[in-house]
């Protein structure tokens, strides 16, 4: 029997997850979001009933997925009376499954390890899904759902998931910050960011085959002090950028020692 699902949240993760669930034939019954505009946007996009009124929440679902910010998960769960012990899942990398334990006997995690934007299409089949749940039975159930959505699923405990989330901050958020600083430097001389895009693409493509430890290049790993000093001179009037340059270059230089 097809499981009936309610999605709580209408942000980037909720959007991609809802679309993927529908694509794979799941019965998504309702989208709830605190803000009606977000609820409507995703509801209209997917043809799913939407609401911003908790009193209207569909109560007969088998699964409720909390695709919300870290702090909102527990708060919203505590506001709903789940009297039939449905399976409650959240999608957060750093949040314990225990935040759901007071709301149902059945709870777990479906954490998609990817960066989502509403405006970008994405092949959900390739998104690594990290699975956890409070019982073996529930783990099996979440695994089944995950395996339908993606070809890349993995069951793991809380510690492993949190470590992966931390690694993701480096690989995605910190990496994007480096891109933004490159953009900043180019902007100082009115140079179009486009010129550096092929380099960004290739740098990411390279580590698909090669360990990043082995792919490290640049003046810092060569301990090429002359070039590093020239770079610092260029940043003479940009104190924060200079500090960042020095900090990371020092770290990279240490790798060689």
Task: Name which of residues 159 to 218 contact a second copy (CB under 8 A).
Answer: 159-160, 162-164, 166-183, 185-186, 188-189, 191, 193, 195-213, 215-218
Instruction: Tell me which stretch binds a second copy (CB under 8 A): 54-62, 72-80, 140-148, 224-232.
Output: 224-232
Which residues within the stretch 25-84 sit at the binding site for a second copy (CB under 8 A)?
Answer: 69-71
Judged by beta carbon, residue 104 or residue 249, the one nearer a second copy is 249
Kindly report the CA angle at 93 between 182 and 35, in degrees rounded to 5? 85
Closest to 20 in 3D by CA, of 132, 120, 150, 140: 150
Q: Which residues contact 216 (CB under 8 A, 6 or more apart)?
A: 252, 255
For a second copy, which is the closer residue by CB, 87 or 127?
Answer: 127
DSSP result, 34-77? SSHHHHHHHHHHHT-EEES-GGG-----SEEEE-S-HHHHHHHH
Taking CB under 8 A as the binding criterion, the range among 15-23, 41-49, 136-144, 241-249 that sits at the site for a second copy is 241-249
Token pair, residue 35, equals: 């803000």
From candidates 19, 40, 101, 114, binder to a second copy by CB under 8 A = 114
| Kind and range of the H or E run holding 254 | helix 239-256
Q: Which of residues 139-158 bind a second copy (CB under 8 A)?
A: 152, 154
Which residues from 83-102 bind a second copy, rule CB under 8 A? 94
Counting Cα atoms < 13 Å in the Cβ hemisphere of 187 gives 7
Query: How near is the Cβ of 28 to a second copy at its closest, in Å?
Result: 24
Residues in the chain: 257
Residue 79 or 210: which CB sits closer to a second copy? 210
Q: Tell the smallest beta-carbon distance from residue 18 to a second copy (Å).
A: 19
């Amino acid at each position: 029997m097809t499981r009936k699902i309610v999605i709580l949240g209408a942000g980037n993760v909720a959007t991609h997850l809802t679309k993927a669930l529908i694509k794979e034939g799941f019965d998504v019954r309702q989208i709830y979001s605190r803000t009606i505009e977000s609820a409507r946007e995703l509801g209209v996009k997917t043809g799913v009933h939407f609401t911003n009124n908790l009193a209207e929440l569909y109560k007969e679902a088998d699964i409720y997925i909390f695709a919300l910010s870290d702090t909102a998960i527990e708060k919203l769960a505590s506001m709903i009376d789940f009297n039939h012990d449905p399976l409650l899942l959240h999608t957060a990398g750093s949040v314990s499954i225990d935040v759901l334990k007071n709301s149902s006997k059945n709870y777990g995690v479906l954490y998609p390890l990817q960066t989502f934007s509403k405006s970008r299409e994405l092949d959900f089949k390739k998104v690594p899904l990290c699975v956890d749940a409070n019982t073996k039975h529930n783990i099996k159930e979440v695994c089944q759902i995950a395996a339908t959505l993606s070809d890349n699923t993995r069951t793991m405990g809380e510690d492993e998931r949190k470590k992966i989330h931390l690694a993701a901050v480096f690989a995605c958020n910190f990496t994007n910050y480096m891109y933004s600083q490159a953009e900043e430097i180019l902007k100082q001389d009115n140079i179009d960011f486009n010129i550096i895009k092929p380099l960004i693409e290739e740098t990411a493509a390279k580590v698909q085959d090669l360990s990043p430890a082995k792919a490290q290049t640049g003046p810092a790993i060569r301990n090429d002090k002359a070039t590093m000093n020239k770079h610092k001179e260029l940043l003479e009037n940009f104190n924060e950028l200079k500090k960042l340059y020095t900090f990371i270059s020092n770290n990279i230089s240490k790798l060689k020692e």
